[in-house]
Structure 1
């Protein structure tokens, strides 16, 4: 009976943590969407909100890290339960970094529009990669919420598409700067935004990988393909 009560208490605490992680996920997802809106139309008030929200995300990371640490010490989970807690800690870290990247985009958007004249269509340069990354982040959080390893596995390949698009953006921007020096300032800003978007895609892919780790017990990070097992 004591073991049963302990198990129920553990499940309740872990579910509370997962709910907060999903709340954090919703926060950074909104930050990213709002930051891209700022980059597109130059809404300075919204940019300030995104930058301010990053502090709330950071605080939530600290709280969740503390809760996970206490859960490990108090409940001493083993096997799959321990994998779940450890993977959750990693998801929390990736979400915090997504928040950092979204705040970075908002700051760049403020600086870009504060300068006034824009000599290239900066938003159109990154629109495709931003949409793909937003979809990847949303679906990765959904897979985490449902512990859906099949959906997570399918998502991992999408990051390669984002990486390819990012490289294409870099080539185009370099060409613009070489052909017309007036575009250099805006092109550099767009490069930093594209890089931030690409990094958000990487973090979203990490979340999908952690889902597979929890459900199947396989760590597929740094492998040559999503279905390849880690070499021993």
Structure 2
């Protein structure tokens, strides 16, 4: 009976942590969407709100890290339970870094629209990669919530598309700067935003990899996951 009670208590504590991680994920997802809106239309008030939300995300990171540490000390989880806690700690770190990247975008958006862009449509340059990354982040959080390794594997493949798109944006911006030096300042701002978006995609991929680690017990970081074989039966 004591063992059953302890196990139930552990499950409740872990679920409370996971719920708070998903809350944190919702905040950083909104941060990213709001930051891109600022970059598109120059809403300075919204940019300031994105930057303020970074403090909330940082506080959640500290609280959740502390909760995970206490859970390990009190419950001493093993095997899959321990993998789940360790992966959750890593997800928390990636979410905090996504918040940092969204804050960078908001800062650039504020500076760009205060100064005024010259010669390029800065938002259209990054619209495609921003939409793809937003979808990827949303799906990564969904895969984490449902422990869906199939969805996680698909997300990892999407990161290569985002990386390719970033390289294309970088080449186009370099061309703009070479052809018209007046665009250099705005082009550099747009490049920093594109890089921040690409980094958010990297963090979303990391979350997907942690889902696979929890479900399958395999650490596939820095490796190419084996292709999924379809059953013809």
What is the TM-score with the length of structure 2 in the denominator?
A: 0.96
Aligned residue pair count: 227
Q: Contact 1:104–1:196 (CA<8 Å) still a contact in 2? A: yes
**Match of 2:95?**
95
**Match of 2:22?**
22
| 3-state SS of 1:120 partner | coil
What are the superposed Cα offsets for residues 103-149 of structure 1, whole Å, 9 maximum, x if unpaired?
Answer: 00000000000002432100000000000000000000000000001
How many Å separate the matches in 2 of 1:117 and 1:100? Answer: 24
**Match of 1:138?**
138
Q: Contact 1:157–1:226 (CA<8 Å) still a contact in 2? A: no
**Match of 2:230?**
none
**Match of 2:10?**
10
Mean CA deviation greater in 172-181 or 115-124:
115-124
How many Å separate the matches in 1 of 2:81 and 2:161? Answer: 33
> Which stretches in structure 1 are left out of the alignment for 5+ residues?
none
How many Å separate the matches in 2 of 1:117 and 1:144? Answer: 39
Q: Contact 1:83–1:214 (CA<8 Å) still a contact in 2? A: yes
What are the superposed Cα offsets for residues 59-91 of structure 1, whole Å, 9 maximum, x if unpaired?
Answer: 000000000000000000000000000000000
**Match of 1:129?**
129
**Match of 2:46?**
46
**Match of 2:226?**
227
**Match of 1:64?**
64
How many Å separate the matches in 1 of 2:33 and 2:150? Answer: 26
**Match of 1:160?**
160
Q: 1:117 to 1:88 in 2, by over 3 A?
A: closer
> Which stretches in structure 2 are left out of the alignment for 5+ residues?
228-233
How many Å separate the matches in 1 of 2:119 and 2:72? Answer: 54
| 1:165-180 matched pairs, under 5 angstroms | 165-180=165-180
How many Å separate the matches in 1 of 2:44 and 2:7? Answer: 49
| 3-state SS of 2:123 partner | helix
**Match of 1:196?**
196
What are the superposed Cα offsets for residues 36-73 of structure 1, whole Å, 9 maximum, x if unpaired?
Answer: 00000000000000000000000000000000000000
